[in-house]
Amino acid sequence: MKIAYRSDIGRIRLVNEDRAWAEQQDSGLVIAIVADGMGGHQAGDVASQLAVDTFRDSLQGKTAVLSLDERKMLIRQTILQANEVIYDMASRNDQYHNMGTTVVAALIQADNGVIGHIGDSRAYMWRDGELTRLTEDHTLVNELAKSGQISPEEAANHPRKNVLTRALGTDAQVEVDVRGISWAEGDLLLLCSDGLSNMVTDEQLRETLQSNELDLDGKADRLVQLALQAGGDDNITVVLLHHADDTEQER
């Protein structure tokens, strides 16, 4: 397994409200998460940090080999635990009122994995020359597009495309989308905040991920640079997981 992740404040924002973490446990379990915070007075970075900290603390040291169904249950429970932590802090502190965060996370083991997500941070799979998006945005614009009220072109340029219909920590109860994935030699999993996916086209993603001239670290750097070159309107965070024989982690 190779792991690379990058986070950049972008060209517009004064604070980086994105947080990420990725690690391969001694048991072989690979854990990764990206969270994109929201909320005034720097509450967004508090929410995203709480999400990552809760996720990491809950899962570090997991030594047992888990079945796919057990990992689905685990990722859902862990994300819901993070929801409780964020919602509780927001309820008890006026400066954190209504803070929240997106989350996209992965638990991978052996030949399969699970993805859990809330919001518009995304997961993509690069496999055998094909790019597949694994998550569906929980946004107002996506709901309008799904119902046929606006076209895909209108959705891409809609002024309210960042309005979330679901977020972590803003409500006492939240629904987590969880799906299983297969995981084969050569596969590459991308987790990212919308600061990447809103700025970089699918074609640019494909060109970067299939490049033989870049190692995994270079691909993460290239993706961030492409988002910056496109305007860098938001914080940009990228986590790349590559199914390879050797283990390597780069920050």
What pLDDT is attached to residue 114?
98
pTM value > 0.85: yes
Say how far apart CA 50 and CA 86 lie, in whole Å. 7
Q: What is the pLDDT of residues 145-199, one digit of tens each?
A: 778 888 777 777 777 777 899 999 999 999 999 999 999 999 999 999 999 999 9
Return the ∠ at Cα 177 (arms to 36 and 168), rounded to 5°.
35
Indicate the residue type of 201: T
Mean pLDDT of 18-35: 94
Does residue 190 sit in helix, strand or coil?
A: strand
Domains identified in the chain and CATH numbers: 2-250 (3.60.40.10)
Strands 103-109 and 130-133: unpaired
Q: What percent of the chain has pLDDT over 90?
A: 78
Distance, CA of 19 to CA of 235 (rounded, Å): 10
* Best CA proximity match to 241, nearest among 62, 108, 68: 108
Model confidence band, residue 246 (pLDDT cutoffs 50, 70, 90): low
The CA-to-CA distance between both ends of the chain, in Å, stands at 15
- Which residues on neighbouring strands pair with residue 236, listed in sequence order? 8
Single out the residue of 10, 11, 6, 93 nearest to residue 50, CA to CA: 93
- Taking residues 64-78, what's their average pLDDT? 92
Q: How confident is the model at residue 250 (pLDDT cuts 50, 70, 90)?
A: very low
Q: Are strands 103-109 and 248-250 parallel, antiparallel or unpaired?
A: unpaired
Q: Tokens 């509780």 appear where?
A: 88
Give the model's pLDDT for residue 41. 66
Q: How many CB atoms lie within 10 A of CB 228?
A: 17
pLDDT (0 to 100) of residue 120: 96
190 touches 209 (CB < 8 A):
yes
Please check whether residue 8 is in contact with residue 17, taking contact to mean a CB–CB distance below 8 angstroms: no
CA 212 to centroid of chain Cα atoms: 25
Rounded Cα–Cα distance for residues 191 and 103 (Å): 10
Phi-psi group of 29: left, alpha or beta (phi > 0 → left; psi -120 to 50 → alpha; rest → beta): beta
